Copies of this chain bind each other. A is one copy, B any other.
Amino acid sequence: MTAAPHPVIVLVRPQLGENIGKAARAMLNFGLTEMRLVAPRDGWPNPHAGPAASGADVVLANATVHGSLADAVADCTHIYATTVRKRGVTKPVVTPETAAGEIHARAGRSALVFGPERSGLETDDVALAHSILTVPINPEFGSLNLAQAVILCAYEWSKSVELASPPATELDPPAPHAELETLIAHFVRKLETAEYFDPPERTPATLRTLRGALTKAGWTSADIKMMHGILTAIERGPRPKG
């Protein structure tokens, strides 16, 4: 059982080298390394790409340049055209999340295709695709730039990769229940001494509220030990001098 190949990111007629660099940075953050460029406007390599990549130079160094989208995706088995334009579309429209799931489940290499910054993909580009990938966005303010569209797709893809799981932190567990009972009992002793339970008929309700708050707190053994110390210190007051 082998994992599906990582998808390739195809930028069609990108305009600014800076945006190519930002896309590379977005990709590498989430473990994608294969970039393909179709007819970049200012040629390739582009001196503005490197600085914008913030260290993702390996992506730029390995980027390949192609004369057409068909050539760029020649080895790919499933092609997603990212676009917000939906008129006349007769292909399935998927979210980045759905696309990520499909890419992981599929044998063969997928391509995520992004259009030029201003105009987006042409109809002929979209015609090559099997699916339309659309990021669901605020209908009153849709303003995703190229690198942002790339990062959302790369992020969704990475979520399904094992290594992308967040590290489980070493959280101390809550204290065993007996320690909590001891703390509650300590509170009650101090409060009885202080004649806090007044009037007496309210005592059961007050105790329930106190127990509820201390139970909900989820304190560790160390927290509970600290609270014992605090109760003792406050009752005792200032240390005798001498």
Report A216-242 residues with CB < 8 Å from chain B CB: 216-219, 222-223, 226-227, 229-231, 233-239
Q: B213, A216: Cβ atoms under 8 Å?
A: no
A sample of 30 inter-chain contacts (CB < 8 A) reads A29-B142, A30-B137, A30-B138, A31-B138, A56-B141, A56-B143, A89-B169, A93-B168, A95-B166, A132-B169, A134-B167, A135-B155, A136-B159, A137-B158, A137-B164, A139-B163, A151-B152, A152-B155, A191-B234, A195-B238, A206-B226, A209-B226, A212-B223, A213-B217, A213-B227, A216-B217, A216-B219, A216-B223, A217-B217, A234-B235
Interface status of A165 (Cβ within 8 A of chain B): yes
Give the residues in chain B near A54, CB-CB below 8 Å. Answer: 143
Most interface-central of A132, A231, A235 (chain B CB within 10 A): A235
CB distance B235 to A235 under 8 Å?
A: yes
- The yes or no answer to A94 lying at the interface (CB within 8 A) is yes
A138 to chain B: closest residue by CB: B31
Structural contact, A171 and B235, CB atoms closer than 8 A:
no
- Considering the complex, which residues of chain A in the window 143-192 have a beta carbon less than 8 Å from any beta carbon of chain B? 143-144, 148, 151-152, 155, 158-159, 163-169, 171-172, 187, 190-191
A30–B149 CA distance with the chains assembled, in angstroms: 13
Query: Would you give the 0/1 interface string for A113-124, flagging 1 where the beta carbon is closer than 8 Å to chain B?
Result: 000000000000
Residues of chain B lying within 8 A (CB to CB) of residue A226:
206, 209-210, 213
- Complex Cα spacing A209 to B210, Å: 21
Any chain B CB within 8 A of the CB of A2?
no
- State whether the Cβ of A67 lies closer than 8 Å to any Cβ in chain B: no
How many interface residues does A have (CB within 8 Å)?
A: 74
Chain B, residue nearest A212 (CB): B223
With A136-B166, A151-B148, A213-B226 in contact, do A237 and B239 touch (Cβ < 8 Å)? no
Asked if A28 CB lies within 8 Å of chain B CBs, one says: yes
Task: Judge whether A74 is part of the interface by a CB distance below 8 angstroms.
Answer: no
User: Inside 8 A of A159's CB, which chain B residues have their CB?
Assistant: 95, 97, 136
Give Cα A89 to B196, complex, Å. 37
Q: Chain B nearest CB: distance from A135 CB in Å?
A: 8
What's the least CB distance linking A187 to chain B, in Å? 7
Alpha-carbon distance A137/B152, docked complex (angstroms): 12
> How far is it, in angstroms, between the C-alpha of A26 and the C-alpha of B55 when the chains are bound?
23
